[in-house]
Amino acid sequence: MPVLDREEYIEQAYFFHAFRERVIDGLPSQDVLSRVSDELLSTTQLPLAVSYLASEIKTIGLMAPAMERIKHYFTPFQTHVIAQAEADISRFPMDQALLILEREARYKSEEPSLSGLFVYQFETISRNRLGYGKGLEAMAEDPFYDESWHDYILLLRARLGDVDFADLIFVRSSYFVTQQQRKNPEFETKYPILFGEKEGKIARANRGRDPLYLFSALQRQLGYPEVPRPHRPDEAETRLTLLEQRVALLENRIKVAESELHDDQNVDLNQLRVKPEDTAGPPAGWGQRDPQA
């Protein structure tokens, strides 16, 4: 698929933002998709794509399969993120997925660097546990990447876990070449250089550390887009939920106690007393003294 015009990514960022806000407000996805297409710029292809999503979600209840069918517009990475949010066993919320795609679309509309786009997408997969295998395959198919980046991402899928991620960036940076040429002026790298000198320095400084520190440093120093953090549970909200559960439990116990008390008041104790006429009388010789005693 070709790289879309800048206007398309601007409209995509608005679409994902509006979709997310209205889903959070509790509106059904079908209604949001049916209405938001009227707000989009008609000179772009996005209104047609959203209309197709709206018709498909009414049939199958999912967006990812429909996005897969119009892969000439939505990238495999966008489809993968939505598919992970729609999976039954996934803990990846849809509002988080939409926010990720909103920031990606906004970054693509602002003269993005390929290294910045790569780090953003890779951190998205890593931080939200979206699966390295399918996730990196989807990344490699992004039309922004040329053949060198495509091959590098697929190589990363095979080397990830065996080699430190910071090293994988460092050896593909111009800073690595500069360091090697100081030792050997005739040094020439066998692989295409994909990262700049600053990226190489930051990667070298974070060797052996958690990759999240590397991502954070690249965002601070080079202005790379920041991946949304997973939502942390609100402590006050958690306590309120716990109190509501305890109050409900106490109410149930009170109802049970009142029910038992009410039943006790309706019991006729006279029915439980043994009447003399209901017995066979006292045993023979009861109350008489034995003469042989």
Amino acid 280: pLDDT: 57
| Residues 64, 26 within the same domain | yes
| Mean pLDDT to the nearest integer, 31-56 | 92
pLDDT in tens, 218-253: 999 999 999 988 766 556 666 777 787 788 778 777
Q: What is the pLDDT of residues 76-125, one digit of tens each?
A: 999 999 999 998 887 889 999 999 999 999 999 998 999 999 999 999 99
Share of the chain above pLDDT 70, in %: 85
pLDDT of residue 249: 77
More confident of the two residues 270 and 53: 53
- Per-residue pLDDT band for 204 (boundaries 50, 70, 90) equals very high
**Euclidean distance between CA atoms 35 and 51, whole angstroms:** 9
Whether 279 maps to a domain, the answer reads: no
Question: Quick check: 216 pLDDT over 80?
Answer: yes
- What is the extent of the structural domain holding 70? 1-110
Same domain, 165 and 75: no
pLDDT band at 152 (very low <50, low <70, confident <90, very high): very high
Nearest-angstrom CA–CA distance, 152 and 223:
23
Q: Are residues 77 and 160 in the same domain?
A: no
What DSSP designation does 186 have?
A: T
39 and 62 part of one domain: yes
Domain count, the chain: 2
Residue at a domain's end among 176, 193, 227: 227
pLDDT at 143 over 90: yes
Q: Are residues 147 and 218 in the same domain?
A: yes
Shared-domain flag, residues 87 and 174 = no
Give me the residue label for tokens 């020439």: 188
What does the pLDDT average to over 17-36? 90
SS3 assignment, position 173: strand
Looking at the structure, do residues 37 and 98 belong to the same domain, yes or no? Answer: yes
Looking at the predicted structure, is the pLDDT value of residue 283 above 80?
no
For range 193-217, the mean pLDDT: 92
- pLDDT value at 74 more than 90: yes
Q: Which of 134, 74, 136 is nearest to 105 (CA)?
A: 74
Interatomic CA distance for residues 191 and 160, integer angstroms: 17
Domain-embedded: residue 236: no
> Do 96 and 140 sit in the same domain of this protein?
no
* Mean of per-residue pLDDT scores for the chain: 86
Domain boundary among 92, 110, 128: 110
User: Which of 110, 126, 148 represents a domain boundary (last residue)?
Assistant: 110
pLDDT at residue 290, as a whole number: 59
Task: Please report whether residue 248 resides in a domain.
Answer: no
Distance (Å, rounded) from C-alpha 126 to C-alpha 78? 15
Answer yes or no: do 142 and 82 share one domain: no
CATH code of the domain covering residue 36: 1.20.81
Classify residue 21: in a domain, yes or no.
yes
Place of tokens 């700049």: 196
pLDDT of residue 154: 92
77 found inside a domain: yes
User: Does one domain contain both 163 and 83?
Assistant: no
Instruction: Say yes or no: 150 and 217 in one domain.
Output: yes
Model pLDDT for residues 164-190, shown as the tens digit of each residue:
889 999 999 999 999 999 988 888 888
Q: Within a domain: residue 277? A: no
Q: Based on the fold, state whether residues 170 and 220 are members of the same structural domain.
A: yes
| Position 273 in a domain | no
- 1 in Cβ contact with 73 (< 8 Å): yes
The confidence score (pLDDT) of residue 90 equals 77
- pLDDT at residue number 222: 92
Query: 118-150 burial, b for 16+ CB within 10 Å, e for fewer?
Result: bbbbbbbbbbbebebeebbbbbbbbebbeeebe
In a domain, 274, yes or no: no
State the amino acid at position 200 in one-letter form. G
Average pLDDT over residues 242-265: 73
Q: What is the pTM of this model?
A: 0.76
